[in-house]
Amino acid sequence: MQGARQRAKAVEEKLSAQRDSADFFVGVEGGLDVVTDGEMRRVFLQSWAYVSDGRRGHFGCGGNIELPAALADEVLENKVELGRAIDDFAGAVGIRDGQGAWGVLSRDLISRQDSFRVAVIAAFAPFFNSAMYGRISTGAAR
């Protein structure tokens, strides 16, 4: 999440330095979420987006896909970057720039682009659905 927000902020700062502007600033970033399930460690790849209009910002997530234990160990224990580890794991080169780990792990049912598309749409939702997101909370539990 932090990486996505930093990328959006970098776009905003770059445009400002060039005396240019935009209605929205978007950043995307993938990351790993480590969860303990009983005695078992599970590691999920997540795709995050952050959208800002310069005053307010919102996050969206493109979902999670579980990494095989051997791939998770390579990344977490051996400190190998996921892009390199997935290339080695799948016996290919440049997966990150193509189908991504999402594509390899889902047998191309979900691509890297698909996961980020969902994240970006979800992050834009509060801007384009103000009828829902603009409501004032009453603080009352239902």
pLDDT, tens digit, 9 for 90 and up, residues 44-89: 999 999 999 999 999 999 989 999 999 999 999 999 999 999 999 9
Domains of the chain by start residue, with CATH: 2-127 (3.90.950.10)
* pTM of the complete model: 0.86
Split at pLDDT 50, 70, 90, the class of 108 is: very high
140: pLDDT strictly greater than 70: no
Confidence of residue 97 (pLDDT cuts 50, 70, 90): confident
DSSP structure string for the chain: -HHHHHHHHHHHHHHHHTT---S-EEEEEEEEEEEEETTEEEEEEEEEEEEE-SS-EEEEEEEEEEPPHHHHHHHHTS---HHHHHHHHHT-S-GGGTTHHHHHHTTTSS-HHHHHHHHHHHHHHHHH-HHHHTPPP-----
Percentage of the chain modeled with pLDDT above 90: 84
